[in-house]
Structure formats: structure tokens, C-alpha cells
Structure 1
Amino acid sequence: MKDRKIRVAAAQFSVGTDVEANLATTLRMLDQAAEVAPDLVVLPEFCNHLSWYDNQEHCAAVSVPLDGPFLKAVAAKARALSIYVVINCTVLRKGGSVTGSSLLYSPQGELLADNTKQIYIGHENDFLTPAQAPAPVVETPLGRLGLYSCMDGVINEPPRTLALRGAQILCNSLNSFASDEGSLHVPVRAPENRVFIVAANKVGPLVPEPLLEPVSQATGIPEKFLHGAGESQIVAPDGTVLACASCDQEQVVYADIDVAQADSKLRADGTDVFASRRPDLYRPICENPQQQSYPAWRAADTLQAALLTPGAGGPDGLRESAALLSDALGQGALLAALPPLLSSQEIAEDLDAALLFAREVVSTLSACLGKNQCVATSLPQRSEDGRTQNCALLIGSDGVLLSQPQVHRSARCAWSASGSGFQSLALPFGRVAVLTSDDSIYPETFRLLALQGVDTVVVPLEPLERWELQTGLVERAAENRINLLAPVINSAGAAFGHGLAASLQRDFTVMTAWQERPFDGLLSQPELTRPAVGEHLTLVTLYPAAAQNKEVSRNTDLVRNRPWHLSGVIAELANGTVTEPA
């Protein structure tokens, strides 16, 4: 296995309502994929029939049993082509239930894995039975493979559990109209878990063609957004997209990968992002949402906020930041976000000087603020017991309102004593949290904040990798329905970008009436604002109250419908024991 490259492929195509015709298409696309000599081919979700049914009897009639002719033909094709094949179908089970399941066939035609979807979207809940057991990780000569499909990748838990259990290649079968699946939810799962992703989506109508016009008229969704969004892709563990298909054409894409790369979980500074996780804090993620409740939602409809991007750090940056802050407040901002004014290296080189500077920063910035105004940044602080901690701070007119120590250890902040959990603060305009840069890369961090009812998060960012700004933070905001401000330290801006603001879309739940925008193909991506080069003050409007609506489609809540009962490995310690609630 070591340093041996394999070729992986994703095939995207259209599926209709004729099961026999869909089988012919599936076999034809496998033959087409075989022309590039792959070791593994991943196919889309629901290859046997469109995910559209008249009733339960119809769903069962067009679904395929494991030992039926449809899947026997796929197994025979895998054997004839001597390739591994991942296909997703609605599977008719003994007893009459139907599941949406991904199936892995070996080059010998043997069924190696059978993984049922954990979280369905919208009408799928009316017909399909969800998974009752965690997804398997399968050891093969190619590497360790894990399977999931579509909505299971819009939230972090299903892919996360596969990666934590050793999967090196995650195979994602999609049936998605959403353009932000390909640009956001699919690729982020690779770098957050340091694994390879092979994702195959559909093109063509996702509802029966005779129904396209009436469904469009009834829902207000333009016909073009009732089609599969394509963009099947292969993503490397660092987030690099190695191959990507078009958004609307039948196509096979492929890439040669070194699977062993997925065994390294190291960031650029040497931090092992799996070893530095905090399972002792993640237990709420694995608890029944029916027994959990949010704090009372009292968020404002709108919040005027500002990203501040000073051209320097240190004392010069502080003077510029104070002027920028005063300007932003004068234009109506109640919440401002500043990047770190000292890098982690500068702090490590002289801790005492950094702590003195931190006191000056708090004093200077608080003097700029009036009632109900605040600014966030990150600075070193001394804890009550004398430990030095890297902290994200929320500062008001009377000083520090909220100090959030870094929770996950990192090599570049080895000087920082770890915090014991994540906090949030109820303000007149909403519930706010602040995070240090090195805590923001963990999907569990934002999930815990969502469970606290946080509607707005500020991350003063010192990025190490490009994916953090490209997909990472945006996806965190999207999958948890949280507004986000992420200003970037000056020294990193040229390499990674100058920060972003993510404002929640108020029109959200699919197939409900939208008031402010026409349906545009985005499933959950917030509205993004990225400061231009040289832009030092960026005003944005955030929507704290919009965070209360997390229902992406009927019966599919991004947080409450997470597969908590299948996510126990997230809260497991290294010895395999599960943490208990504090």
C-alpha cells in the first residue's frame, strides 16, 4: 500500500423513471469509466429510479432487492471490468421496507459493503428507512473505504465518523440540485478529515420530465434548478480539487491518488488534528436532541457589523484598528471583528511583551466603544491560576465581556494552556461566540456552539491552509446556520485572502415561499462578503434571528436531525471508551 498510487473515478449521468433503461445507462457509464482504467468507480445516488414516487407501493415496486437482476448485473459488470464499484440505489429489504443505500462491489463481483443513508432530505423521509447502524469501513487492497450519500455529507457527522474509524477514501453518491454541494459541502469533507473524497452527482431532471413545469410552478423553483447540479469531483486531503466534472453534462472524471497520504493528519505547523481533538467535550453531539433545548431565541432580525483589516500588526496596527473601529461604529456597526494583531510566532518569542500589549489593546479598543457596541479579536491572556492562554476576546466599553481560551492544542500555540469548553454570551442583538483560529478547523466546535443557540460567531483568523477560507469556515456557517465574521491577520492575507463575512439567507427552507430572493440553487450557503485587497473597513448586515430556522427541507433539520445515535465515535477517547456527560 505504501506510496502506491491508484486511479479513482466518478461518473455522473441522468436517471429517469424506467428502471431497465436506468440499468442500461449505469452499465454503459461503467464501460465508459473503464476506458480510463480506474481501480474504483463511484456512481450517483438513486441509480435505479428518480427519487420521486406516487406512494409507498410505487417506491417499493421501482426499488431493487440485493439479489435482484439490477444489482446482479452491476456486480457482473464490476467482475467483467475487474474494478471496485460504488453504486447507490433504493433497496427493497426483506419485510418490505426500502432504504437508500450505497453498495460496494469488488472486482470479483462480491458485495463488500452495504451502507444505508443516515439523514434523508424532505420527501425521502416519507418513503425510505434510515440507517440503524454506523456506516462500515471496509479494508480493501486499494485502502480503507467508507461510503455515504448526499445529505449525509451536508452535515459533518457521517463523514467524520468514517474518518475517525480509519477510512482513507470516502465515496459520496449524490442526487443533488444544489450548486453549493459541489462548491462547499463535498470538498470540505476532505481537508477537515484529511482523507480523499470521490463524489458522483447527477445531471438531468431530478423529477419526472412531464412534471418539470407543474412542479416548477407549484414550488417557485425554476426548472433548471430541478436538475442535477453535476460537478462530480475528486478531492485530496489538503482540499485540492484534483478533478471536477461540468455542472450539466454526462461525464467521467478521474485522478491518480496516493492513498497513504490520508494516513497523515498533520497540519502545516505539525499539529495532529485527530490527536488534538477533545472527545471529552463532544458528548452533547451524541445525545438525543429531543432531550436538548436551545436557550430562548431573542436575536435581532438584523445586525450591522464590520470586518476591520488593518494594514499592519503590533502597535501600528492597534492605532489603525482604533481609527477603523471608530469609523465603523460611526456608521452604525454594533459588532466589529479584528484579526489578531500579533502572530502566534510573535507571541511565542516574547510572552511577557505580548501580554503587556494585550492589556494595551483591550484598554485602547474599549475606550472607542459605547453602550451595546463590541469588538472581537484574539490576544494572549493570563488565567486566574496564572496560566498563559491564547484567547479570542469580545471587548465592550467596560473591558473584556467574553474570553474564550483555545480549546484544541496546536503546535504553533504550544505556549497556550487549553481551555475547558466553549462559551457564548447573550447580547441585546443575539447570542455571540468568539473562537481562536486553531479551534475553528474542528467541525465539532461549531456544532457545540449551534447546540448552545449561538447565532453569530467571530473568528480572528491566522490561517495555515487555503481551505480554511475557501470552504472550511463558510461550510461551518452553512451546516449550522450561524452568521460568521472572520478577519484575517495581515501577514496571511496575501496568501489566503483577507477574510470573510457570512450572512445567513433569511429565505431558507426548500419548497416554501421565499420573500427576498428567487430560488437560486443554493441549499444552505450563506451570503458571502470578502474584503478586496486594500479594503480596510467592510460593513455587512448579519441576520441573527435567521439562525433559528435550521430546517433545510421538510423534516430535515440540520442540527436536530443529525444522526446522534450513530455518532458515538466522535465522543470516544483513544482507549475506545465513550465520554460521559459532565
Structure 2
Amino acid sequence: MIAPYTAALCRPATQTVFGEDGVHPGALAANVALYGNLIARAAGEHGARLVVFPQFSLTHYAPLGTDVWLDAAITFPGPQADAIGAACRKAGVYAVVQTAEKHPAFPGRYFLSSAIFTPEGELGLVYRKTYAMSLRTSPGDVLDRFIDVFGADALFPVLHTPIGTLATLIGAEVHWPEPVRALALKGAEVICNPVAAVQSIDYLNRAGAEIVRPVRAFENAAYLVMANYADGAVESAAYDFQGAGIGRKVDQTFTLATIDIAALRASRAGPTADFLAQIQPDLHRGMYDAPLWPANSFADAAPSGFDALIQQESAVRMRLEASWGR
């Protein structure tokens, strides 16, 4: 039996690492140190067992080219990751951290990645962002090479722990049902969602984005906890396995949520309550025969700019509409 525990959604007041003269390593080191302090506070002041940090909070965001992002990117493992792991070990907590990542198997490219650290200070998993357009490399862009390097399980990894099965998705990825469902079908019970929502939860201000997260929690019978950027107007939030909001803002830095894995498992075991157990895959096997986004689209080189991504999206849309016969 897993006793209920506290998840702390943290909004650290970090500093940007991007300057007119390039990336400032001192700023990155200061942000890592602040993470360590806040991990200690979350555990010591609030009894948290899980701490979730926002998207881009380790570096901040800048609309700059790949070379600059590579300079700001870290490695897993590496000195910054090791320092965060040491803070988790000292505090005895799990922590979710999102950042740009570089990897020697993909020279000249960077991923937007989210790592889950364990109370032993180890890397429990590293997830590389799949959905939502940006100039980072997506696993789907280099799918064959990605699987060769990391294995197919690394596309949507989950971490089985004494506080439940943890997973993470980054930013707007939850706008698509597929990545959330992929994690849920692998047993995910707490899906951690680092975001960087500045003016609104969706940069296009679409009303439906406001309800996506509780819907994803409801339809997958899983907790979904979202930590937002300190500079953003949107509060961090958490939803239980029935889609109810459970976040409690206690100050400008922390929003807390109670995670009750025993209650989640009991609910899933109830008659008609587990939507996952009622999925009928034989009805849907033809769904992805549609001419959708192809894998390995940027296998040889990263997208040259957003125009390349928009061109790809337009081509897919035209093929899809042609398949409808209109």
C-alpha cells in the first residue's frame, strides 16, 4: 500500500543563461544551485516526495539558433545533472527537470528533454520531446537512429517506483491524446508536465487548451501535474485521476498536490471506471493508415527553420485531405 504523499510544483525565479555575448555558464550554475535549494525546501518545509520544475526554467527561453541552444544544453549524465541528483539524494525525493540536452550520438543537434531523478540521486529516465513544433530534434525526426541508440522503450518511457509509476511530457504535448495514452498503456499513474506558458496556457489562445489537462487525466485515469515558468501568468496546476483540480498554491514558489496512488488503483479496479481496459484496438487498427507525418523526416539534418516545419505540415494536410476524396 502506497500512502498518500505530496507533489510540489515549483516555480523557481531563475536567471536567463542567454546574453548578447553568448551563454553564461555562471548563470546556469546559479540556476542549478537554486534547484538544489528548492528541492531541499520542498522536502523540508512541505514533506514533498516528488518535485516538478517547469519547462525552460533551468536556462530560460530565447528565440535563437541551434548553435546557441547547443551551448546551453546539458548532458545526462553530466555535471549539472549530477548536482541535481545529489540534491535529490540529500532530500530523499524524486524530481522532474526539463532542459535542452545534447548527446554525442546526435552531433550538431539538441533535444528538449525531461529527466526524472530518484531519491538515490540517479537518473530514473530521460524523455525527449516528441510532439509540438520547434527547431529542436524530435525522436520522430531521426526515428531509426533514435531507436538504435536508446531503444524503442525510450520513445515513451515510464519509471516504476515506490510512489507509483511516473512519467513526463513536455509543454503542449498533452494537446495530443496519443503520447498521454502511450504512457498510460505502459502503466503511468502520475504524468508530470513541465510547461512554459507566459501569457496563457496556449500561445494561440485557443479556448480548448484550458481543458486539455483535466480531460487527459480523466480519460487515462491518471494524475497529471503541471509546473509553469515563474515568469508566466498561468498558475501551476494538478488534476487527479477523475480530472478534478487538486493543486493548492501555498506561495509564489510552490503549488502542492496530494497524490493518492491507492485511491487511483482502487478506482481503476472499479466496474466501468477504467477506460484503458475498455479500449478495443481491433476497431482502430486502420486509423493510422492515413498519410500522416512521416518518420525520419529530418534524418540527415535538423529543420533549417520553421518554414521547413510548416511546409511539412502543409504537405501532410494536403495528402490527408486528398485521402478524404474532397
TM-score under structure 1 length normalisation: 0.43
CA distance in 2, matches of 1:235, 1:556: 34
1:150 and 1:268, CA in 2 relative to 1: closer, same or farther beyond 3 A?
same
**Residues 1:28 and 2:28 are matched in the alignment:** no
Aligned counterparts, 1:29-48, within 5 A: 29-34=38-43, 35-48=45-58
Query: Within 5 Å, which residues of 2 pair with 1:186-205?
Result: 186-204=213-231
CA change 1:263–1:288 in 2 (3 A) is farther
Structure 2 CA distance for partners of 1:54 and 1:157, relative to 1, 3 Å? same
Deviation at 1:58, TM superposition (A): 1.0
Q: Is the 8 A contact 1:173 1:200 kept in 2?
A: yes
In structure 1, distance between residues paired with 2:312 and 2:241: 29
CA distance in 2, matches of 1:99, 1:200: 20
Q: 1:75 aligns to what SS in structure 2?
A: helix
In structure 1, how many angstroms separate the alpha carbons of the residues matched to 2:198 and 2:258?
Answer: 28
The equivalent of 1:259 in structure 2 is 261
Q: What displacement does 1:28 show?
A: 3.1
**Distance in 2 between the 1:149 and 1:5 partners?**
25
On the 8 A contact 2:54/2:98 being kept in 1, the answer is yes
Structure-2 residue corresponding to 1:59: 69
277, 280, 292: which one pairs with 1:278?
280
* Alpha-carbon shift at residue 173 of structure 1 (Å): 1.0
Query: Match for 1:25: what amino acid?
Result: L
Does the 8 Å contact 1:120/1:556 carry over to 2? no
The residue number in structure 2 matching 1:120 is 132
Cα deviation, residue 54, structure 1 = 3.0
Secondary structure at 1:107 match in 2: coil
How many Å apart are 1:284 and its aligned residue?
4.3
Structure-2 separation of matches of 1:276 and 1:129: 31
* Alignment map for 1:342-357 (pairs within 5 Å): none
Provide Cα deviations, 1:267-304, integer angstroms capped at 9, x if missing partner: 99835422222212223444463489xxxxxxxxxxxx
Gaps of 5+ in 2: 18-26, 144-151, 203-208, 295-308, 318-326
1:187 positional shift: 2.3
Q: Does 1:87 align with 2:108?
A: no
SS at match of 2:74: coil
Q: CA deviation at 1:554?
A: 5.0
Structure 1 stretches of 5 or more lacking a match?
205-227, 293-552, 562-582
Q: CA deviation at 1:169?
A: 0.9
* Structure 2 counterpart of 1:275, one-letter code: A
Find the counterpart in structure 2 of residue 158 from structure 1. 179
**Partner secondary structure for residue 79 of structure 1:** helix
The CA distance in 1 between the partners of 2:11 and 2:87, in whole Å, is 17
Aligned pair in 2 of structure 1 residues 14, 69: CA closer, same or farther (>3 Å)?
same
Q: 1:111 matched to which residue of 2?
A: 123
Which residue number in structure 2 is paired with residue 352 of structure 1? none
SS of the residue 1:289 aligns to? coil
Q: Does 1:19 align with 2:46?
A: no
Whole-angstrom distance in 1 between the partners of 2:75 and 2:269: 44
* 1:91, distance to aligned residue in structure 2 (A): 0.8
Amino acid at match of 1:112: G
Which deviations, in whole Å up to 9, do the C-alpha atoms of 1:203-228 show, x marking residues without a partner? 21xxxxxxxxxxxxxxxxxxxxxxx2
Change beyond 3 A, Cα 1:268–1:76: closer
Structure 1 residues 127 and 197: CA distance shift in structure 2, 3 A: closer
Gap change, CA 1:285 and 1:83, over 3 Å in 2: farther
Q: Which has the larger radius of gyration?
A: 1
Higher mean C-alpha deviation, range 131-140 or range 80-89: 131-140
Partner SS for 1:179: coil
Equivalenced residue count is 273
* Alpha-carbon separation, structure 1, partners of 2:280 and 2:267: 15
- CA gap of 1:68–1:255, structure 2 versus 1, over 3 A, is same
Q: Secondary structure at the match of 2:179?
A: helix
Query: Quick one: percent identity of the two aligned structures?
Result: 26
- Give the partner amino acid of 2:176: I
Q: 1:61 to 1:258 in 2, by over 3 A?
A: same
Rounded Cα–Cα distance in structure 2 between residues aligned with 1:21 and 1:93: 23
Query: AA paired with 2:184?
Result: A
CA distance in 2 between partners of 1:51 and 1:250 (Å) = 20
The TM-score, its normalising length taken from structure 2, stands at: 0.74
- Is 1:183 the counterpart of 2:192? The answer is no
Cα 1:244/1:7, change in 2 over 3 Å: closer
> In 2, are the aligned partners of 1:120 and 1:130 still within 8 Å (CA)?
no
SS of corresponding position for 1:88: strand
Change (3 A) 1:264 1:117: farther
> By how many angstroms is 1:27 displaced?
2.5
CA contact (8 A) 2:112 2:136 kept: no
Instruction: Mark the CA change 1:80 to 1:179 in structure 2 (over 3 Å): closer, same or farther.
Output: same
What's the CA shift for 1:104? 0.8
Q: In proportion to residue count, which structure has more helix?
A: 2
Structure 2 counterpart of 1:117, which letter? K
The amino acid that maps onto 2:256 is Y
The range that moved more, 16-25 or 33-42, is 16-25
- Distance (Å, rounded) in 1 between the aligned partners of 2:286 and 2:84: 41
- Paired residue secondary structure (1:61): helix
1:148 corresponds, among 169, 181, 197, to: 169
Partner-residue secondary structure (3-state), 1:54: coil
Considering only aligned residues, what root-mean-square deviation do their CA atoms show, in Å? 3.1
Higher relative contact order (CA 8 A, sep 6+): 2
Instruction: Say if 2:227 and 2:236, in contact at 8 Å, map to a contact too.
Output: yes
Change (3 A) 1:250 1:288: farther
